[in-house]
Structure 1
Amino acid sequence: MTTPETPQPQAQPQQPAQPPAPQQAPAAQAPAPQAPAPQPVAVATAPQPPHGVPPHGAPLPGATPMAPAPAAPAPPSAWQQAMNNAYTSPIPIKRTNLGHALSSEWTKIKSVRSTMWTLGVFLLLVIGIGLLAVAQTDDADYVDVPYTIPAFFGLILGQICLITLGVLVTSSEYGTGMIRTTFTASPQRSRVLAAKALVFFVIAFVVSAGSIFFVGLVASGAHSGPGVGEVSWIDTVFKGGLYVSLLGVLALAVGSILRHSAGAITTMLGVVLVPAIMPAFLGIWSSTEKLGEKMEEYNAISSLAEIFKIDSSLDGGGGGQLVLLVVVTAAALVGAFALLEKRDV
């Protein structure tokens, strides 16, 4: 029995072998690379939408247009963040008032040497000359005059000291330039001038009235014989101190107007001395005789003489002279306030 033969798979025909590529001989010198020639750039065109379809982003026909979205706020810059995070002082900030200005002016007027010198010379003149007059008088001299009459002789010269101090209170700051610092710290100029005038007036009145009272007290203790002391002298303390203090405030206003110490002091010396000298010349002509009489009555020296009752025939007590000085001082202060607000520092 014969076994059937299994068919053998036929072998695939073999591909002929590729001949090896011939090796190229190395070039003697490699050519320099050349830049590729510019090729035309093809401009890509956006595909056109089919007919009847709106382009991308365009509103559809009949659709309600939508409002653009709000732009996002820009982040704050560095300086804005610094302003938002500003330093806050733990010290409470208070609004300034007249009391602060008064305190400042009191500190300034008591810390300068000119105040001590002028007030010291004033006390030396009033009290020193007054005590010398007390020592040279006796009881009979005070029968028809007040005990404060010796202080009158010292006030004739002492009033010049208060005039000088009043001028320096305002004009010295203009000379040194410190007035700029003062007005920077207190921009309300009228408040500064008011504080200067008030502080100076209080100091001048206390010093002048106190010195007059001291001289009167010493005179009353030294001369207390029979029939002496019948003339009241307390009112002369108030009126005499008020008169020379107002002269000082007038000098303060003149110093603020002129802004020059020497010019203001010279002007005030003319106000005090010229009316006391001019009547001697005005009395020569009959046309100016009346003017000379008024100047003789209302000048500073004659006003003090009437306040201290030098002449017993005059019973006015210096009331009219005080009213005139108040009016003149008020007018000068109004002018000083007006010019202070209009002019530069």
Structure 2
Amino acid sequence: MTSPQQPQPQPEPHDTDAPGTGPTPPAGAPRPPAQQAAPQPPAEQPEPRPLAAHAPPQQQAQPAEQQPAQRQAQPPAHAPQAGPAPQQAQAPQAGAPAREPGTMTLQAQQPPAGPPPQQAPYQQPHQPAQPQQPHRQPAPQQAQQPPQQQQIPAAWQAAGPGGTGPAYVSPIPVRRTTLGHALASEWTKIRSVRSTMWTLGVLVLLNVGIGLLTALALADPDRVVEPVLGFAWFGLLLGTLCVIPLGVLVISSEYGTGMIRTTFTACPSRARVLTAKAIVLFALTFVVTTASNALVAVAHAGMLTGPAPTGDEWLRATVGSGLFVAVLSLLSLGAGTLLRHSAGAISAMTGLVLLPMLMAVFMITSESLRPFATKLIEYSIPNNLGALYGQPFMPDGPTGWQPLLVLLGVTAVVLGGAYAALHKRDV
């Protein structure tokens, strides 16, 4: 009885085979994806070995007895990824002995049909595999579009010769500034500050209050007062001390706060600005002073005993005195424009009103200075104001409407210097 023929073992592949090659896996075994050479960090480089002794690391770490079986069980690294292949029926070869149960038969595998698998290129063991950069396709160039022309507004169209060149036309209506605009601006300023209310309020209070007290003191049926309106200016004389600060602050306050720059920017004509200030200040002072003077004059004419005042006396006691105080406020405005300092201008104007009378009192005792002291009294502000009411300190001084003309001449000179300085000096 003969023993069954033992199967001949297949020759082992030589270690010098190209990496990634090996026996073909059996039919029906799942084919894993192709194993790619993973990039290794450059710091861990293996020692160079001879090419003949090179073998995959997985096969060198195992004993020689188990290599054929594992090589048969493991698929090659270059096998393409695909689903499980259909099982093929294996027909027994002629002359081949029957396989007994419990024995393992090694049979040569037929290569799979199709194109040969691509083998990975050989790399030196001491050189790490360089990861292949994905190829980036250049972005498709977009067709350059012509720049869009901006739509020119209708306000920009009409300009240039023939309407070709664009020019900007403001949608806000632009009007040239006039004196009326400057007057509206100055009226808003003077009525919106507290100094105007306080100064004019104190003026009215002193004029009316002191005038009524004087009328009560002189009211006696047996006393004849001539002229009847001759003592109605005492309260107004003290009221002029309130008009002086108002005239100075109309312009010096803007110099102090820097508002004058904004004023001259809005209205570049400086003469127009000063004219508007003068008109508003004059009108406001004249109306308030004339109204309070008329009230005091009516009280004196009704309470005192004496000849009835004439029309000229009524006019000088009401309108004339109102004009005198209003012109005095313009003189203060000119002083404030020249000095551009509130305290300095107020001090200068107060000295102009009171200082001539005080100096004359001390100089009149001297024989040599008496003529000069007399002239100081005759042309002082208190004496001129009393002359309008028919009660001057000196009989040889200005009478009638002359005090108003003298003050108008002095104010014209000061305001002329203010206009000239305003154009020559910077703000």
Q: TM-score, normalised by structure 1?
A: 0.71
Q: Which residue of the partner structure matches residue 336 of structure 1?
A: 418
- What are the equivalent positions in structure 2 for 1:111-260 lying under 5 Å apart? 111-138=192-219, 139=221, 141=223, 143-147=225-229, 149-150=231-232, 152-223=233-304, 227-231=306-310, 232-260=313-341
Mapped to 1, the partners of 2:300 and 2:348 lie a distance apart of 35
SS class of match (2:415): helix
Q: Which residue of the partner structure matches residue 105 of structure 1?
A: 186
1:98-127 CA-to-partner distances (Å, cap 9, x unmatched) read: 111111111110111100000000000001
Q: Which residue of the partner structure matches residue 296 of structure 1?
A: 377
The alpha-carbon deviation at position 287 of structure 1 amounts to 3.5
- What are the equivalent positions in structure 2 for 1:279-318 lying under 5 Å apart? 279-310=360-391, 314=395, 317-318=399-400
- Structure 1 residues 149 and 269, CA gap change in structure 2 (3 angstroms): same
AA aligned to 2:377 is E
Mapped to 2, the partners of 1:193 and 1:311 lie a distance apart of 34
Q: Which residue of the partner structure matches residue 327 of structure 1?
A: 409
- Structure 1 residues 284 and 221, CA gap change in structure 2 (3 angstroms): closer
Mapped to 1, the partners of 2:204 and 2:261 lie a distance apart of 33
- Structure 1 residues 215 and 141, CA gap change in structure 2 (3 angstroms): farther
SS class of match (1:147): helix
More helix by share: 1
The alpha-carbon deviation at position 91 of structure 1 amounts to 4.1
1:300-332 CA-to-partner distances (Å, cap 9, x unmatched) read: 111111111125994953433222211110010
Mapped to 1, the partners of 2:279 and 2:341 lie a distance apart of 21
- Structure 1 residues 96 and 107, CA gap change in structure 2 (3 angstroms): same
The alpha-carbon deviation at position 284 of structure 1 amounts to 4.0
CA contact (8 A) 1:246 1:329 kept: yes
- What are the equivalent positions in structure 2 for 1:4-43 lying under 5 Å apart? none
CA contact (8 A) 2:294 2:318 kept: yes
The alpha-carbon deviation at position 88 of structure 1 amounts to 4.0
* RCO higher in structure (CA 8 A, sep ≥6): 1
Mapped to 2, the partners of 1:212 and 1:87 lie a distance apart of 57
Mapped to 1, the partners of 2:392 and 2:177 lie a distance apart of 50
CA contact (8 A) 2:286 2:323 kept: yes
Mapped to 2, the partners of 1:274 and 1:311 lie a distance apart of 18
AA aligned to 1:248 is S
- Structure 1 residues 141 and 122, CA gap change in structure 2 (3 angstroms): farther
- Structure 1 residues 177 and 230, CA gap change in structure 2 (3 angstroms): closer
The alpha-carbon deviation at position 263 of structure 1 amounts to 0.2
SS class of match (1:203): helix
Between Structure 1 and Structure 2, whose CA radius of gyration is higher? 2
SS class of match (1:309): coil
SS class of match (2:174): coil
1:197-230 CA-to-partner distances (Å, cap 9, x unmatched) read: 111011111111111111111222334x5x5424
AA aligned to 2:417 is G
RMSD of aligned residue pairs (Cα, Å): 3.0
Q: Which residue of the partner structure matches residue 57 of structure 1?
A: none
The alpha-carbon deviation at position 274 of structure 1 amounts to 0.8
Identity of aligned residues (%): 48
1:29-73 CA-to-partner distances (Å, cap 9, x unmatched) read: 9xxxxxxxxxxxxxxxxxxxxxxxxxxxxxxxxxxxxxxxxxxxx
Mapped to 2, the partners of 1:274 and 1:318 lie a distance apart of 24
Q: TM-score, normalised by structure 2?
A: 0.58
- Structure 1 residues 149 and 283, CA gap change in structure 2 (3 angstroms): closer
Of 276, 281, 288 in structure 1, the residue corresponding to residue 357 of structure 2 is: 276
Mapped to 1, the partners of 2:327 and 2:212 lie a distance apart of 25
CA contact (8 A) 1:183 1:189 kept: yes
Gaps of 5+ in 1: 1-28, 30-74
